[in-house]
Amino acid sequence: MQAASASQLMGNLPSFRVKPARPFLNCGIDYAGPFLIRQGGRRSRTGIKCYAALFICLVTRVIHIELVSDLTIVFPSSTAQVYGQKVKKS
């Protein structure tokens, strides 16, 4: 009695994950937090709430972490900054 060998089944990947592309041309965005950080000097007890915006490249799996103070302003400021740093202008 011999058992039949099993073959592994794999799902189809999206085309933007398979084709070569520049980093951060296709990216996903996620948020982490809230984190409490102290603002001011060494004796300051006032804390402000901040969040981490995670930009994940879907091709190379590189992660860029940006610290933001509010969830509503991440797109205009941080997205332009990430694309300006990571993507070459042609």
Average pLDDT for residues 45-53, to the nearest whole number?
Answer: 86
What are the extents of the domains in the chain?
26-86
Average pLDDT, the chain: 77
Kindly report the backbone phi and psi dihedral angles of residue 14, in degrees, each rounded to the nearest multiple of 5, phi listed first.
-65, 150
The C-alpha atoms of residue 53 and residue 41 are separated, in whole angstroms, by: 26
Q: Confidence band (pLDDT; 50, 70, 90) for 80? A: low
Q: Is the pTM of this model over 0.75?
A: no
Distances (CA, A) of 72 to 3, 15, 52, 77: 57, 30, 12, 10
- Do 68 and 53 touch, CB atoms closer than 8 A? yes
More confident residue, 3 or 79: 3
pLDDT value at 29 more than 70: yes
Average pLDDT for residues 20-33, to the nearest whole number?
Answer: 83
